[in-house]
Amino acid sequence: MAGQDVNDNRVAAVVIMAAGAGTRMRSAIPKVLHRIAGKSLVALAIDSADALAPDRLVVVVGHQREQVSAHLGEVAPHVMIAVQERPLGTGDAVRSGLAVLPGITGEVVVTSGDVPLLTGETLLDLVAAHRDAANAVTLLTAVVPDPTGYGRIVREGDEVARIVEQADATDAELDLTEINAGIYVFDAATLTEGLASLQAGNAKGELYLTDVVAHARAAGRRVGARILADHLQTEGVNDRAQLAERGAELNRRILARWMADGVTVVDPATTWVEAGVDLAEDVTLKPGTSLEGATSVSRGATIGPDTTLIDCEVGENARVLRTHAELAVIGPDTTVGPFSYLRPGTELGSRAHVGAFVETKKAIIGEGAKVPHLTYCGDAEVGAGANIGAGTIFANYDGVTKSTSTVGVNSFVGSDSVLVAPVHIADGAYVAAGSTITGDVGPGELAVSRGQQRNIPGWVARKRAGTKTAASAEAALAAKEASQKEDSQ
């Protein structure tokens, strides 16, 4: 394929079968909408099909078609949708797909919506083999350790004589280990003619797409097969256990690709990276890390341990540990955690610090600013170099509306303060520890809003007589009196 124009890869159409009920999933969600690596099974199938740049891409829906069609409208608006009215087998599903492609000529690739490890590169290779051999039909096959449940490939020399399904196979045919992956390239005329000839003369009473192979052979047309060495790409999803197995394998492959590109993954067994994530060289992922959605991590950043980032942007050399963050921007050289919660709308400037047990929401934290401990910082703007003391609450909600508070450049908010929004603390201002701030604070001012301390002698003896506290107070007073008496002598 080297040196060929990208348009040489194009095929007339791809038909993805996604109409099955998936009853073994035992789910209200259609099987092809279950997700691994952050994408639905059918979306992964579409990604692979898109590598062929087909003129038309058709997804055949059936069971719970409304849910599947709505999902396709969101994730792949370029696809055409065909409906299989009744579950009459793979042949009927493809025939339903061709119904929206009248007069189709050229090559038609048929694949499935529940084979999530299949790659675009494999489909490109299959089409190239089809063209090189001038086949009318080319099957993707694999030799597997346990072929149970799969259609077996019966060969005559280097051609495929027929495919026999498990339920219809003889004992000798059941011993064959080359299986049909259910992925094909057809000459459109051969496919159309073969589908028209299908009859339900089998144990299940269904129309088998595999019988199109027999039709092509009977018509004297060449049927070939491309054996895929990576047989895991052919494995589908029929139940929750297989969903987990395919998900783990896809994650392993994603991590292997990133490690080859210069990412350090300390413990691949506990690290999960979804398909839409982007990582730069020299990123380090520590154990217990989960990167989801469209998260991107820049060069030199360290993520984890025990961290989940969803649709986040992380700058160079940032350090994020034991943190949950969603739709947040973490600037370069910034540190976050441990035990931080960054909610949507959080933006952390370069060299900022968000520390232990801090929650942020729609918070813009300026360059070099610090929110180190035990703080809720919601609907807030914190200027560069500002310091927010431990236990500070940005009281952003009055029960009706949410309002924003601002803390100026290089200002200091003392521990255990409450800023009742909306308030503005100007640049270079101080808020005394323990204050409740309801009004603006000007530049260079110290805001103090707390009652004067008053100590009431003898209160414990009168109000808590007979307690351990009273006994300790009595002993301390006696020791104090003895010390004072000794000092006076």
Question: How many angstroms separate the CA atoms of 343 and 327, rounded?
Answer: 7
Last residue of a domain, one of 234, 260, 286: 234
pLDDT (mean) for 173-179: 94
**Domains held by the chain: number:** 2
**Is 179's pLDDT higher than 90?**
yes
d(CA 192, CA 15): 13
pLDDT tens column, 127-157: 999 999 999 999 999 999 999 888 999 998 8
Does residue 18 lie within any of the structural domains? yes
- 489 found inside a domain: no
Show which of 234, 258, 283 is a domain's final residue. Answer: 234
Centre a 10 Å sphere on the Cβ of residue 323 and count the other Cβ atoms it contains.
Answer: 24
Instruction: Based on the fold, state whether residues 294 and 198 are members of the same structural domain.
Output: no
127 belongs to a structural domain: yes
Do 211 and 340 lie in one domain? The reply is no
The confidence band for 212, taking pLDDT boundaries of 50, 70 and 90, is: very high
Predicted pLDDT at 453: 84
Look at residue 65 in the predicted model and tell me its pLDDT.
Answer: 95
Residue 293 has pLDDT above 70, yes or no: yes
CA gap 198, 447 in Å, rounded: 85
Say whether both 165 and 226 belong to one domain: yes
Answer whether residue 458 is part of any domain.
no
Enter the pTM of the model: 0.90
Sign of the dihedral defined by the CA atoms of residues 135, 6, 14, 20, in that order = positive
User: pLDDT above 90 covers what percent of the chain?
Assistant: 87
Q: Do residue 283 and residue 392 come from a single domain? A: yes
pLDDT tens digits for range 42-62: 999 999 999 999 999 999 999
> What does the alpha-carbon distance between residue 449 and residue 431 come to, in Å, rounded to a whole number?
9
Domain-located, residue 481 = no
Q: What's the CA gap between 80 and 83, in Å, rounded?
A: 10
Model confidence at 322: pLDDT above 70: yes
Do 405 and 441 lie in a common domain? yes
Q: Judge if 324 and 269 occupy the same domain.
A: yes
> Is the pLDDT score of 276 beyond 80?
yes
Q: What is the structure's pLDDT at 348?
A: 98
Residue 91 lies inside a defined structural domain of this protein: yes
How high is the pLDDT of residue 166? 86
355 and 438 assigned to the same domain:
yes
Do residues 152 and 85 both lie within one domain?
yes
Residue 1 resides in a domain: no
78 is catalytic: no
What pLDDT sits at residue 168? 84
Selecting among 71, 78, 353, 373, the annotated active-site residue is 373
Q: Give the pLDDT of residue 203.
A: 64
Domain that holds residue 192: 6-234
- 79: domain CATH number is 3.90.550.10
Closest-CA residue to 276 (of 239, 309, 301, 302): 309
Tell me which of 38 and 156 has the higher pLDDT.
38
Write the CATH number for 411.
2.160.10.10
**Adjacent-strand bridge partners of 360:** 342, 377
Residue 2 has pLDDT above 60, yes or no: no
Domain match, 64 and 131 both: yes
Could you tell me if 134 and 248 lie in one domain? no
198 and 322 share one domain:
no
Q: pLDDT: is 38 or 203 the higher one?
A: 38
- Does residue 3 carry a pLDDT above 70? no
Out of 177, 199, 234, a domain closes at: 234
- Rounded mean pLDDT, 257-285: 98
Query: What is d(CA 285, CA 307) in angstroms, rounded to the nearest whole number?
Result: 9
- Each residue of 219-239: pLDDT tens digit? 999 999 999 999 999 999 999
Residue range 163-191: average pLDDT? 93
* Residue 363 belongs to a domain: yes
252 and 399 inside one domain: yes
